[in-house]
Amino acid sequence: MLLEVRDLRVSYGSIEALHGISFTVDRGEIVTLIGANGAGKTSTLLALARLPRPEAPAVTSGDILYEGQSILKTEPHTLIQNKMMALVPEGRHIFGNLTVEENLKIAAFPHRKDINREAITGEIEELVFELFPRLRDRRKQRGELLSGGEQQMLAVGRALMTGSEFIMLDEPSMGLAPKLMQEMFRALKQLNFVKRMTILVVEQNARVALDFASRGYVLRNGEIIGGGSTADLALDPDVKKAYLGG
Ligand SMILES: Nc1ncnc2c1ncn2[C@@H]1O[C@H](COP(=O)(O)OP(=O)(O)OP(=O)(O)O)[C@@H](O)[C@H]1O
Ligand SMILES: [Mg+2]
């Protein structure tokens, strides 16, 4: 088991967003959490990534185990430095005034100023460009001049630059035209297949997510109300009715 979430409760001040959720992600798996607006998808990923952001929720009880060890007290930069996990957050967190290449380079080793980025990052950067050829064509272009879909690809590329073995994505399909969405999910599938990368993706677009992942959980109002293989979930009458448009 790579990741085990046990009875996790998460709050923003006095508002509880997750009321004790449990789920697992095995090494090499693609797992999805599907749910409507406000179900708690982003809260789950923010809790897992342990980001020291003011808008991040607090874990009030339960546990998050990574390879059997609790990471509740682990510093977020330790998670990144040890290549344990990387988050592609909701929205596109890239630097608009930096070029594609610069965005990628600074994503690697964000806490190290003493290393030769050029030498170490070249190989991963090449991987990112192989996965997203349109980023290669635009390597000297400033981030803010990319299309929304290209910015989304760059955000994924930045997470890859950390060299992490586990990547979490918050609604990567958001705002993407069907063709770019296909490109995005094809690239992620390839990473999973070729690099054995473990992927946890949260999506409001259940159709796309169930197609992409091998296992999934259904999140509603801060609780997990179902789970199983995505093939089974896609056939589940309740899931169909609530998330697949009947
Ligand atoms: N910073 C915050 N402060 C207070 N409450 C918050 C905050 N962020 C989220 N919430 C609440 O927590 C609950 C879960 O929100 P969350 O953002 O995790 O949902 P989501 O499943 O990601 O939804 P969406 O599909 O709209 O992105 C919601 O009721 C939301 O109002
Ligand atoms: Mg969200």
Using alpha carbons, list the distances in angstroms from residue 210 to 57, 97, 140, 229.
27, 36, 36, 9
Q: Sheet of 215-220: strands edge to edge? A: 86-88, 166-170, 198-203, 30-34, 215-220, 223-229
* Calpha distance 132→158 (Å, rounded): 12
129 located within any domain: no
| pLDDT tens-digit series, residues 157-186 | 999 988 899 999 999 988 888 888 888 999
Mutational pocket test of ligand 1: of 16, 43, 87, the residue with most ligand atoms within 8 Å of the beta carbon = 43
Domain count within the chain: 1
> What type of residue sits at position 93?
H
Measured from the CB, is residue 41 less than 6 Å from ligand 1?
yes
235 located within any domain: yes
Could you tell me if residue 13 is left (phi over 0), alpha (psi between -120 and 50 degrees) or otherwise beta? Answer: left
Nearest CA to ligand 1 atom 2: 12
Residue 241 alpha carbon to ligand 1 centre in Å: 23
Measured from the CB, is residue 89 less than 6 Å from ligand 1?
no
* Calpha distance 167→131 (Å, rounded): 15
* Calpha distance 114→133 (Å, rounded): 30
Measured from the CB, is residue 123 less than 6 Å from ligand 1?
no
Q: What is the pTM of this model?
A: 0.93
124 located within any domain: no
| pLDDT tens-digit series, residues 32-90 | 999 999 999 999 999 999 877 777 899 999 999 999 999 999 988 888 888 899 999 88
Q: What is the rounded average pLDDT of the residues 100-112?
A: 80
Q: Sheet of 58-66: strands edge to edge? A: 15-25, 3-12, 58-66, 69-70
154 located within any domain: no
Confidence of residue 120 (pLDDT cuts 50, 70, 90): low
143 located within any domain: no
pLDDT at 109: 66
Residue 114 alpha carbon to ligand 2 centre in Å: 36
Indicate if the pLDDT at residue 195 is higher than 80.
yes
pLDDT at 55: 78
pLDDT at 117: 60
**Domain range spanning residue 220?**
1-82+198-246
pLDDT at 114: 58
Measured from the CB, is residue 184 less than 6 Å from ligand 1?
no
Looking at all shown ligands, the one closest to residue 55's CA atom is: 1
CATH for 211: 3.40.50.300
